């Protein structure tokens, strides 16, 4: 996300529609990319981008221009994604059409991958987001913690709990990691 | 669970769910959808309070409720911290 002039940020904070549109156009791709990393579904990421900017629009009076737009938007987007994951827990799938790095090990059988994906989709949404960003996307702990609005220690704890639950679920499915 | 086990599970997870490339973009311009959303909401939103005050008011009410619950039931503090 690029830096924007303080004039646009101040105007947005005062509720100026043109400033909101400028920020939307400037940040929609970055917000969409962030949401796609979390929900891993194109259609949902598009809907959530609109939802995120709606929440941003509603909260403009609380925005602090001195703290910048990017981190604030990312926190709101993460919260929107968390709400979506909570509402769609049984429907979460892992579509194969997402652009991804070609690092898949052929030694891991498709059946095992399916079981891992299933176990991962069953994680509590808060833990799942932390694990997605920190383990799958391999983002720095500080960045993940800021997006989740928690400390780095709390973020590490969430990842640890996610991994522990994942191991238990895999063991129940007959997979010993 | 030791560190090696953690690393093995993390590796399995990375093999199963590869990271999404950073340059992913929406298939369409989302501004028209944003405008539709804003128009729909402004037509249905109740106007008993100015919109910019509503979230602030709600935050303070929520905070007051949490403080009240913690004051009456101090044993709920660990539960609250767990969900933070």
What dotted CATH number matches A6-87?
1.10.1740.10
- Cα–chain center distance at A14: 28
Q: What is the pLDDT of residue A94?
A: 52
**pLDDT tier at A146 (50, 70, 90 boundaries)?**
very high
What size, in residues, is chain A? 177
**B8 vs chain A: nearest CA distance in angstroms?**
6
The three-state (H, E, C) secondary structure of B50-65, written as one string: CCCCHHHHHHHHHHHH
**pLDDT tier at A1 (50, 70, 90 boundaries)?**
very low
* Average of per-residue pLDDT across A63-91: 89
Domain boundaries for CATH 1.10.1740.10 within chain A: 6-87
Q: What percent of chain A has pLDDT over 90?
A: 71
The more confidently predicted of residues A175 and A129 is A129
Residue A17 has pLDDT above 80, yes or no: yes
Find which of A74, A96, A99 to mutate to test the B interface (most B CBs within 10 Å of its CB): A99
Find which of B3, B11, B14, B19 to mutate to test the A interface (most A CBs within 10 Å of its CB): B19
Domain boundaries for CATH 1.10.10.10 within chain A: 110-172
The more confidently predicted of residues B1 and A126 is A126
Could you report the per-residue pLDDT of B24-41, keeping only the tens digit for each? Answer: 788 889 999 999 998 886
Residue A134 has pLDDT above 70, yes or no: yes
What is the ipTM metric for this complex? 0.74
Residue B58 has pLDDT above 60, yes or no: yes
Closest CA to A4 of A51, A140, A13, B23: A13
The chain-wide mean pLDDT, for chain A, equals: 87
What dotted CATH number matches A110-172?
1.10.10.10
- Cα–chain center distance at A24: 18
Cβ(A92)–Cβ(A85) below 8 Å? yes
* Average of per-residue pLDDT across A64-78: 93
The chain-wide mean pLDDT, for chain B, equals: 81
Q: What is the pLDDT of residue B43?
A: 61
Q: Spell out the residues 6+ positions from residue A108 whose beta carbon is closer than 8 angstroms to its own.
A: B12, B15, B16
Cβ(A113)–Cβ(B13) below 8 Å? no
Least CB-CB distance to A62: which of B22, B27, B56?
B56
- How far apart are alpha carbons A152 and A149 in whole angstroms? 10
């Amino acid at each position: 996300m690029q830096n924007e002039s303080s004039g646009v940020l101040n105007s947005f904070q005062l509720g100026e529609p043109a400033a909101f549109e400028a920020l939307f156009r400037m940040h929609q791709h970055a917000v969409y990319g962030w949401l796609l990393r979390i929900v891993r579904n194109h259609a949902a990421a598009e809907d959530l981008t609109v939802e995120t900017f709606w929440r941003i629009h509603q909260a403009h009076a609380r925005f602090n221009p001195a703290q910048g737009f990017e981190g604030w938007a990312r926190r709101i987007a993460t919260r929107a994604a968390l709400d979506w994951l909570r509402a769609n827990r049984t429907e979460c799938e892992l579509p194969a059409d997402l652009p991804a790095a070609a690092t898949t090990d052929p030694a891991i059988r498709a059946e095992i991958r399916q079981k891992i994906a299933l176990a991962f989709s069953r994680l509590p949404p808060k833990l799942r987001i932390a694990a997605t960003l920190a383990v799958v996307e391999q983002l720095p702990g500080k960045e993940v913690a800021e997006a989740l609005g928690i400390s780095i220690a709390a973020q590490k704890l969430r990842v640890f709990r996610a991994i522990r639950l994942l191991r238990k679920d895999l063991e129940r499915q007959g997979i010993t990691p | 669970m030791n560190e090696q086990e953690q690393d093995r599970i993390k590796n399995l997870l990375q093999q199963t769910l590869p990271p999404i490339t950073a340059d992913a973009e929406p298939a369409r311009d989302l501004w028209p959808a944003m405008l539709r959303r804003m128009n729909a909401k402004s037509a249905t939103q109740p106007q008993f309070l100015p919109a910019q005050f509503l979230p602030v008011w709600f935050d303070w009410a929520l905070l007051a409720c949490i403080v009240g619950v913690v004051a009456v039931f101090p044993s709920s503090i660990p539960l609250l911290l767990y969900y933070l």
